[in-house]
C-alpha cells in the first residue's frame, strides 16, 4: 500500500544506507530535488547512484556532499550553463568510483532490471566506442547463440529504490507523469521500492482520465511525497521552468 509521507520520513523509511539508489529527471527537468535535498540533509550514504541517461544537479549535489561511493551516469552536466563542478572534481581527484556507461546501455540495463532479464546484449555499434571495454563491472562480451558472433552485453540494474518526480497523485497513490517520461518509467519499474514526489494531489477521476501509459498504479508506488515546487531549481513541466539564477548560484558556489 502506498504511504503518504513527508520527505524526511520517505527518505528515512525507504532509502537503505549504502544501497543502490536511482534518481530520475533528465538534465535540469523533473529532478526530485525535495528528496535529493533530504538525502543530503540526512547524510544517507549511497552505495551506488544510478541516474537518468543525462543528469545534472540531482547527482552533482549528492556527489558534492561526499555521499556517493559508486556512480552510474552516462552524462553529468548543466548543458548551456557548463560542466558539473563537483562531479568533475570527484572524478579528477579520484574520490568517487565512476562506472563508465552509455545512454543506450543504461536504458537497456534498467529494462532488464524491470523485466527480470539477467543481462541485455547491445547493438554492435557499441563495440566501436571505448565505453564497454572500460567497465567490465557493467559490460561483458557474450557469444550470440544464434549467429555465433561476439557482442557486448550490459548487466541488469535493479535499484533498491527509485526517486522520481511526477506531476500528480490521487489519494489512492496512483500517479500521473504529466510530462515527457524520459526513462523514468523503466527506472520506476526496475526498482524494488519507488518514491514519487508530486506537485499536487488530484481526485482519482483526474488520474483515470489520463491515457494508458502516462500514469503508474498505486501498487508500484511505495510512497508519495507531496512537495509543491519540489523540483526547483530544475523545471517541473506544466508548473515552473528551471530557475536559471539559482542554478548559476549553485554552480558558482560549487566551483569554489
144 binds its own copies (CB under 8 A): yes
Binding of its own copies at residue 124 (CB under 8 A)? yes
Which of helix, strand or coil describes residue 39?
Answer: helix
By CB under 8 A, tell whether 122 contacts its own copies.
yes
Q: 231: closest CA among 8, 15, 14, 28?
A: 28
Our CA angle for 35, 253, 54, nearest 5°, is: 50
List, in order, residues 6 or more apart from 110 with CB less than 8 Å away. 22, 50, 157, 183, 186, 187, 189, 190
Contact 247, 233 (CB under 8 A): yes
Specify the residue for cell string 532490471: 113
What does 153 bind: its own copies, another protein, none (CB cut-off 5 to 8 Å by kind)?
Answer: its own copies
| H/E segment holding residue 86 | helix 85-92
The 38-77 site mask, x for binding its own copies (CB under 8 A), equals ----------------------------------------
149, interface contact from its own copies, another protein, none, CB < 5-8 Å by kind? its own copies
Of the residues 83, 180, 208, 246, which one makes contact with its own copies according to CB under 8 A: 180
Q: Tell me if 214 contacts its own copies by CB under 8 A.
A: yes
Name which position in 7, 54, 163, 202 contacts another protein (CB under 8 A): 54
Q: Quick one: how far is CA 11 from the chain centroid?
A: 15
Q: Is 205 a residue that touches its own copies (CB under 8 A)?
A: no
Binding region for another protein (CB under 8 A) out of 3-11, 35-43, 51-59, 61-69:
51-59
Amino acid at each position: 500500500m502506498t504511504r503518504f509521507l513527508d520527505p524526511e520520513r520517505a527518505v528515512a523509511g525507504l532509502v537503505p544506507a549504502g544501497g543502490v539508489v536511482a534518481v530520475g529527471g533528465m538534465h535540469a527537468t523533473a529532478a526530485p530535488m525535495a528528496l535529493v535535498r533530504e538525502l543530503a540533509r540526512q547524510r544517507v550514504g549511497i552505495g551506488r547512484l544510478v541516474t537518468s541517461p543525462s543528469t545534472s544537479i540531482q547527482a552533482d549535489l549528492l556527489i558534492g556532499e561526499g555521499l556517493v561511493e559508486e556512480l552510474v551516469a552516462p552524462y553529468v552536466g548543466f548543458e548551456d550553463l557548463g560542466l558539473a563542478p563537483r562531479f568533475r572534481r570527484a572524478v579528477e581527484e579520484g574520490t568517487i568510483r565512476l562506472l563508465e556507461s552509455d545512454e543506450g546501455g543504461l536504458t537497456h540495463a534498467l529494462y532488464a532490471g524491470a523485466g527480470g532479464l539477467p543481462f541485455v546484449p547491445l547493438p554492435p555499434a557499441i563495440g566501436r566506442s571505448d565505453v564497454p571495454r572500460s567497465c567490465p563491472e557493467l559490460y561483458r562480451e557474450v557469444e550470440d547463440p544464434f549467429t555465433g558472433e561476439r557482442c557486448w552485453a550490459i548487466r541488469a540494474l535493479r535499484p533498491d529504490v527509485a526517486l522520481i518526480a511526477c506531476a500528480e497523485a490521487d489519494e489512492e497513490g496512483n500517479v500521473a507523469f504529466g510530462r515527457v517520461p524520459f526513462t523514468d518509467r523503466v527506472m520506476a519499474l526496475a526498482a524494488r521500492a519507488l518514491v514519487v514526489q508530486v506537485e499536487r494531489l488530484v481526485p482519482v477521476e483526474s488520474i483515470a482520465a489520463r491515457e494508458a501509459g502516462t500514469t503508474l498504479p498505486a501498487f508500484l508506488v511505495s510512497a508519495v511525497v507531496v512537495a509543491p515546487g519540489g523540483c526547483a531549481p530544475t523545471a517541473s513541466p506544466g508548473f515552473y521552468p528551471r530557475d536559471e539564477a539559482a542554478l548559476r548560484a549553485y554552480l558558482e558556489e560549487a566551483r569554489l
